[in-house]
Amino acid sequence: MARYRQIAADGGWTPIPEGPPLKLGVSDPRVAALRARLAVEDPEAPAAGDPAFDMALHQAVQRAQRRFGFEPDGVVGPATLRMLNQPVGQRVLQTIANLERWRWMPREMPPTRVQVNSGAAIVTLFKDDRPVLSMKAVSGKPGDETPMLSSAMHSVVINPPWNVPTRIANEELWPKERASPGYLARNGFRVITNDDGSKRLQQSSEQSALGRYKFDFDNPFAVYLHDTPTKATFERFSRQASHGCVRVEKPRELAEALLAGDPKWTPEQIAATLDAGKTVRARLPQQVPVFILYWTAFAGADGQMHFRTDPYDWDRELLQRMGVLAKPKPKTDVA
């Protein structure tokens, strides 16, 4: 916070003019502006040099892209340019919002924990307060936001069926069945009649949208972590695309790490259970605290600040509730 406030007091940074992508080998008058902009935050960035886009500048752009959660291709295209051109005042406001969220957390975090950042769509397993496994995730899309919560993970379900939430069934799956009769059967869904005569859908473990692993913890939102057969979403920059649960990129590695120490659940036994195809709930040797957080500004291991967009618009809402930002005035009809 002090650093970015000082940057603001020193005049901030000058926006880089719009134009075609800047990349290795090009000569463009905007290269000087790019060098100056990167040097404000990155002590390794070349503040001056040849007007051509050289390798040192390429590497500085890659470092910036990693701090934004982008694919580090070293090309300053529209998305990278937008992030670089965010004014320093916006970065100060983001930091204020995220510091406030830190105040909601325990003063000391449990040394072993699963930590989810829905804003950046990242899952990290900590042991002895050190990250030992980190992976991309897919969190809830706007309108189906992944909630902030704390709980304790108690089990891994191997080969889980998917009990479809009523809203998803009514809004998405039943209409597909009406439009294309047989859709449900083709995709492994069973229609189950409840005691009251109503119907619900369950997708078999062989075709489950939960993939081969589900990570369970109690919470009032009915969300959990799980595998997915849809892997392509992990390659996106913006990975807020689920109905609220958190899809994980490396479910097997996470399951093995959580069950490590239980002689009943060696990696070989987990693999054999998967191959058998039966649904089995494996209880963790000890429950593991899980925190689902929403960070759009956070410090990286390199000491540099990492920033994301505000996909749920929760930064703005929090800043308004804190009185840092003014609430928009309600619209009035003009006769």
By annotation, the residues acting in catalysis are 226, 245
Which run of H or E residues covers position 176? helix 174-179
User: C-alpha distances in angstroms, 81 versus 39, 72, 190, 305?
Assistant: 15, 13, 48, 17
**Are the C-beta atoms of residues 288 and 258 closer than 8 Å to each other?**
yes
Alpha-carbon distance of 171 to 332, in angstroms, equals: 34
**Are the C-beta atoms of residues 134 and 253 closer than 8 Å to each other?**
no
Beta bridge partners of 298: 306
Least Cα distance to 290 among 91, 148, 175, 102 occurs for 148
Alpha-carbon distance of 210 to 4, in angstroms, equals: 42
Residue 14 φ/ψ, nearest 5 degrees: -90, 130
**Are the C-beta atoms of residues 240 and 246 closer than 8 Å to each other?**
no
Q: What is the chain's length?
A: 335
What dihedral do alpha carbons 98, 100, 106, 110 form, nearest 10°?
0
What dihedral do alpha carbons 102, 146, 89, 47 form, nearest 10°?
90
Least Cα distance to 290 among 103, 135, 155, 141 occurs for 155
